[in-house]
Each structure stands twice: as structure tokens, then as C-alpha cells.
């Protein structure tokens, strides 16, 4: 149990030290389960490149603000030092920081919302993990997903936070599956499926992210590549919406499922590989289902489909090797 100590100096003292910078970089890396400062650094490079390339540099600065705020909140609340050191406070916050400027207009109230929401993720993560520990699973990026849903839905009823980048709420979806299927285009979609993990729409950023994964864990890099390709294949043959597919929006959740099942929560072996492949396929259906579910609200799913699909494949606690499975923690398995 955490000892929250709002006035404690114990961890606040380390603020603005090199240790704190390491916590931030590991926090960036942990978005894809990588406890490695170089991976985190390369992720940030990819975010900055992609954000400025798509003409929305504020997304990158939002990422920094969210990463800092959520990590800082963990220090202020004097929560488990082990979690902090391994970057587990920052990964939800950095995603909040990417999401807000992507979908919401840049007013002072949007930035206040971004900061409140990033703080909230650190609180929610502890609460959600308390519940889920009994089921031997982890809250993954759900603190980011849940608290962002709260603020994005709230923004619809607050003129202070313009929802100009969010989809218009609607009922029936007339969509076209037509899409350019040249080899070059397919490679672009495939790379964007990876870059969209951080809500970035850029193939170059996808390459950055693959390199960042490769630096720390080659299996993770391989599964990210496989998952983006397989999810692209599945959504193409089932004829999903062309525009979304071209932006990699059916890839990012599957990429996270692939990394999580294939290289983090299970030991790599042929049977877990089959399990992971099925998990990736199901993630595509969960992604489409949640897109459909949220259309009347015009709300993004964020990485919700990844959380749901990965939980579904961890909850049965199947034993694929000799160890009794416990999926409530991953960061101690450093690579």
C-alpha cells in the first residue's frame, strides 16, 4: 500500500536531478513496455519529428508536459519509489500529453485540463492496479484512456476547451473501403500503424519507434512489425474504412497487443506466438467495435482496444510454460 505524503520531501528532493530525467525517459519507454532510457529518448525524437512534420508541434510539447506532470505527481504523493524509478508514473501522462493538443484547441483551459488529466492518471493507475491485482492483470494504459475519456467528453459541454479536432457525433456511418493498395502505400500504412501508438501520423516516426524498440528488446520490435502488418491485412480483407486504415488507426492497438502478449507477459515460444497472433487479430475487431460504439459520441478510443483485447487474452491465466502466470507486473522483467 502506498503511503501518500503530500508534504514529503523524500522523493521531491530528487526533482530536476539526473535521476529525475531518467525517470522521465523510462516513462516514455514504458508506453511500449520498454524500461530503457535510450528507447525513451528515441520515442521522444520520433514524437518531435512527427509532430513538427504534421505541422502540430504542440503535440510534442504536450507530451513533455504530460510526462513531467504525471511523474511529478508520483513524487509529490510519495508513491512506491520502485514504480517511479522504472518509469511507471510517466507512460500514461505522456499519452495524455499527446492526445490533448491532437484533438482539442490550444486554450489556457485546455492546458489546465491536460495537467489535471495527467495528474489524475497517476492516481488512477494505483487504484486500478489495486483492483486488477486480484485478477493478476495490470491496468496497462487504461488510466490514460479512462481519464482522457472523462476530459474529452466533458469538453463537449465546456466552451473553454474547444473540441475542434474531435469527430462530429453521428449515427449511421457511410464509409468507403476504397484505398490505394500499391506496395509503397502499404508500407506507409504499416509504419503509421506503429507511429499512431503515440497518436503521430508519420511513417518516419514509425521507423524511429521500431529502432527504439530494437535498442532494448528485439522481440518487441519484431512483434510491433508483425502486429502492424497483420492488423493491416485483417482490416483490409474485412473492408474497413479506407481513410482510417491509411492513417494507421487500425494498427496502433494491435501493435501494443503484439508487444505485450508476444514479448512481455509471455516467454517467447511457438505456442505463445500462436496465442499472440490470435490476440492481434481479435484486437482489430475490438478496435472496430469501439470505433463503432463511440461514433454517437465522436470520442476517440485511444488505446482502449489494446487494453481490452490484452486483458481478454491474459485473464484466462493459461499456463504456456512451467510458471504460474501473474500478469500484474511487467517492469521487473528488465531486458
- Restricted to residues 60-79, the positions that interact with its own copies (CB under 8 A) are 77
State yes or no: residue 241 binds its own copies (CB under 8 A): yes
State yes or no: residue 55 binds its own copies (CB under 8 A): no
CB of 115 to its own copies, least distance (A): 11
Cβ-contact 27, 71 below 8 angstroms: yes
Candidates 14-22, 198-206, 251-259, 317-325: pick the segment binding its own copies (CB under 8 A).
Answer: 317-325
State yes or no: residue 211 binds its own copies (CB under 8 A): no
272 vs 199: CA distance, rounded Å: 28
Among 17, 81, 156, 185, which residue sits at the site for its own copies (rule: CB under 8 A)?
156
User: Which one, 25 or 88, has the nearer CB to its own copies?
Assistant: 88
80 vs 129: CA distance, rounded Å: 13
102 vs 304: CA distance, rounded Å: 17
Grid cell in block for residue 273? 506466438
State yes or no: residue 174 binds its own copies (CB under 8 A): no
CB of 268 to its own copies, least distance (A): 14
- Alpha helix segments (H runs only) across the chain: 18-29, 37-53, 58-76, 81-85, 90-103, 108-132, 142-155, 183-195, 203-216, 218-237, 242-246, 252-259, 270-294, 304-314
Give kind and range of the element (H or E) at residue 172.
none
Give kind and range of the element (H or E) at residue 53.
helix 37-53
Candidates 27-35, 37-45, 183-191, 283-291: pick the segment binding its own copies (CB under 8 A).
Answer: 283-291
State yes or no: residue 267 binds its own copies (CB under 8 A): no
User: Which one, 149 or 219, has the nearer CB to its own copies?
Assistant: 149
CB of 51 to its own copies, least distance (A): 26
Amino acid at each position: 500500500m502506498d503511503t501518500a505524503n503530500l508534504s514529503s520531501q523524500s522523493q521531491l528532493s530528487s526533482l530536476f536531478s539526473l535521476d529525475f530525467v531518467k525517470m522521465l525517459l523510462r516513462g516514455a519507454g514504458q508506453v511500449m513496455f520498454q524500461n530503457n532510457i535510450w528507447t525513451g529518448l528515441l520515442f521522444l525524437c520520433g514524437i518531435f519529428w512527427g509532430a513538427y512534420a504534421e505541422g502540430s508541434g504542440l503535440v510534442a510539447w504536450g507530451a513533455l508536459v504530460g510526462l513531467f506532470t504525471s511523474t511529478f505527481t508520483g513524487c509529490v504523493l510519495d508513491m512506491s519509489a520502485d514504480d517511479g524509478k522504472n518509469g511507471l508514473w510517466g507512460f500514461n501522462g505522456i499519452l495524455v500529453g499527446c492526445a490533448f493538443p491532437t484533438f482539442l484547441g490550444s486554450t489556457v483551459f485546455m492546458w489546465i485540463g491536460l495537467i489535471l488529466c495527467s495528474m489524475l492518471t497517476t492516481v488512477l493507475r494505483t487504484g486500478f492496479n489495486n483492483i486488477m491485482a486480484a485478477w493478476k492483470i495490470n491496468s496497462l494504459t487504461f488510466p490514460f484512456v479512462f481519464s482522457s475519456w472523462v476530459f474529452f467528453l466533458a469538453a463537449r459541454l465546456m466552451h473553454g476547451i474547444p473540441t475542434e479536432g474531435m469527430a462530429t457525433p453521428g449515427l449511421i456511418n457511410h464509409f468507403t473501403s476504397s484505398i490505394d493498395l500499391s506496395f509503397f502505400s502499404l508500407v506507409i500504412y504499416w509504419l503509421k500503424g506503429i507511429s499512431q501508438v503515440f497518436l503521430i501520423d508519420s511513417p518516419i516516426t514509425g521507423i524511429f519507434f521500431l529502432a527504439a524498440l530494437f535498442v532494448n528488446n528485439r522481440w518487441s520490435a519484431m512483434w510491433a512489425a508483425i502486429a502492424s502488418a497483420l492488423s493491416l491485412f485483417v482490416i483490409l480483407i474485412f473492408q474497413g474504412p479506407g481513410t482510417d486504415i491509411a492513417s494507421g488507426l487500425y494498427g496502433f492497438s494491435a501493435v501494443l497487443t503484439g508487444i505485450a502478449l508476444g514479448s512481455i507477459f509471455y516467454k517467447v515460444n511457438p505456442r505463445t506466438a500462436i496465442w499472440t497472433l490470435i490476440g492481434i487479430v481479435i484486437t482489430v475487431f475490438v478496435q472496430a467495435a469501439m470505433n463503432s460504439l463511440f461514433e454517437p459520441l465522436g470520442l476517440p478510443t485511444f488505446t482502449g482496444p489494446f487494453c481490452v483485447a490484452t486483458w481478454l487474452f491474459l485473464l484466462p491465466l493459461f499456463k504456456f510454460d512451467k510458471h504460474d502466470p501473474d500478469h500484474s507486473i511487467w517492469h521487473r522483467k528488465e531486458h
